Amino acid sequence: MTETETPQLTVWPALHYDDATSAIRFLVDVVGFREALVVPTEDGDVAHAELRWPEGGAVMLGSTKATAGTHGEMKAGTGVIYVVSDHVDEIHARVVASGAEISEPLHDSDYGSHGFTLRDAEGNLWTIGTYRGAP
């Protein structure tokens, strides 16, 4: 792999939602993810979805109604995801305009991150910040 190639994603946080369709709309339309794949169930719910972050990374999600396998035991609203962005203020403005709950206001941390935390409609926490982790 050269320095200009993007490595294949190998870590996928996964969440379950009671209303996965609404969660996808919020995460795409407000937060800024890109819908890469949505696999519907026979009754029109979401069996599996993949959302890509335009600055790198992705998450998987599905409906709590999809109960097959170990992941079927996951409850809605118990996840915490950290998302790195160079556009924190823009995302914050969209989230505030949407009426979503801001759990931790926009601030600068002691370790050099500029960010905030929101709670989605089902209780998952999403921190959007500039900190990219230790080298």
Q: What is the pTM of this model?
A: 0.88
- pLDDT, tens only, 2-45: 556 666 667 889 999 999 999 999 999 999 999 999 999 888 89
Question: Which stretches within the chain are classed as H helix?
Answer: 20-26, 88-98
- Number of domains making up the chain: 1
Calpha distance 44→67 (Å, rounded): 15
The CATH number of the domain where 89 resides is what? 3.10.180.10
Structural domain boundaries enclosing 43: 14-67+75-129
* Other Cβ atoms closer than 10 A to 47: 15
How large is the average pLDDT for residues 83-96? 97
Instruction: Using alpha carbons, select from 61, 81, 80 the residue that is nearest to residue 71.
Output: 61
Look at residue 49 and tell me if it is in a domain. Answer: yes
DSSP state of 72: G
Mean pLDDT of the chain: 91
Look at residue 6 and tell me if it is in a domain. Answer: no
Residues 6+ apart with CB under 8 A from 41: 47, 63, 65, 66
